[in-house]
Amino acid sequence: MAEQVTPSVAGVYSVSRETCLEVNNLTVRFQSATAEEILAVDGVSFTVRSGEVFGLVGESGCGKTTLAHCIVRLLQADSGSIRFQGLDWSALEGKELRRQRRRIQMIFQDPATSLNPRMTVGQLVSEPLWIHRLGNKDERSAKAIELLETVGLQADDALRKPDEFSGGQRQRIAIARALALEPELLIADEPVSSLDRTAQGEILELLDRMQSEFRLTTLFITHNLTLVRKFCQRVAVMFHGRLVEIAETETLFEEAAHPYTRVLLGTAGPDGSVAQTATDPIPKSQEPIPN
């Protein structure tokens, strides 16, 4: 049976393999323009096993990207903890945070906005190496070309600008950049949502190949259930900032435990995308129990 996450079990989800990432009771609050408090991430706890693709699925605005930004330390959580490979990741500061940051990298949702249009592709891919002072100029350039070829582009593409490429090609560039530092954990935040179906398939095949070649652990964030089923071994369902269910992927699709998960599965569009109105049929009495 799929596991329904409630206060009694959240944070103690056991794993049989080595744990790569452990998020425990993470909470993030924002303040709106009207001074209203918004609880974007509400007591979230989960673990990611080394070498797996762990899916995080939910509607747009449910807190998935905010959670991802906390893991890569673009945002600081208000409370809770993050442990990565046994290291207290959420407590890192200053030079030690800068040094360790290369171990977790992120592919952002829209490469058109995440890639600097004034830089060449070679500069974009090699920039992480320059930031972390790895190699000399020639070595960084050579590494950038190697990575571009690895993701299916050409060496000459290093001299071009991002706006000269299609959406799928730009996402390949973003993947090459994310892999430049040889991370242990890759966070892919809606990596194909802005692409057409053909490009989506190509990028997913590339990510699957990179998972094996680079021996990655991947947190795959999406609102598309079809992609989760194809790509992830386990999946967590997020609703209004909380995780309501964690399960092996096939178990989730066949034996969903939480009513919200069943609504998601029942309202997904032909392409697997979650409908924004999926929360409407959930009675208040069946919402996740607040921590």
In a domain, 44, yes or no: yes
> In three state form, how does the secondary structure of 118-133 look?
CCCHHHHHHHHHHHCC
Amino acid 275: pLDDT = 56
C-alpha span between 17 and 52 (Å, rounded): 10
Amino acid 276: pLDDT = 55
For the chain, what is the domain count?
Answer: 1
Amino acid 63: pLDDT = 93
Amino acid 109: pLDDT = 85
In a domain, 15, yes or no: yes
In a domain, 152, yes or no: yes
In a domain, 12, yes or no: yes
In a domain, 132, yes or no: yes
DSSP 135: S
User: For residue 207, what are the domain limits?
Assistant: 3-286
Residues of the chain below pLDDT 70: 1-17, 269-291
Amino acid 277: pLDDT = 46
CB-based burial label for 243 (10 Å; 0-12, 13-18, 19+): buried
- Give the count of beta carbons closer than 10 Å to the beta carbon of residue 226: 15
Please say whether the beta carbons of 25 and 44 come within 8 A.
yes
Place of tokens 């947190």: 219
CATH for 121: 3.40.50.300
Q: Interior CA angle at 191 toward 187 and 193, to 5°?
A: 145
- Give the count of beta carbons closer than 10 Å to the beta carbon of residue 53: 24
Give me the DSSP letters along 250-281: HHHHHH--SHHHHHHHHH--TTSBPPGGGGTT
Amino acid 281: pLDDT = 42
In a domain, 20, yes or no: yes
φ, ψ for residue 184 (rounded to 5)? -90, -30
Instruction: Give Cβ neighbours of residue 50 (< 8 Å, ≥ 6 apart).
Output: 17, 18, 19, 20, 217
In a domain, 291, yes or no: no
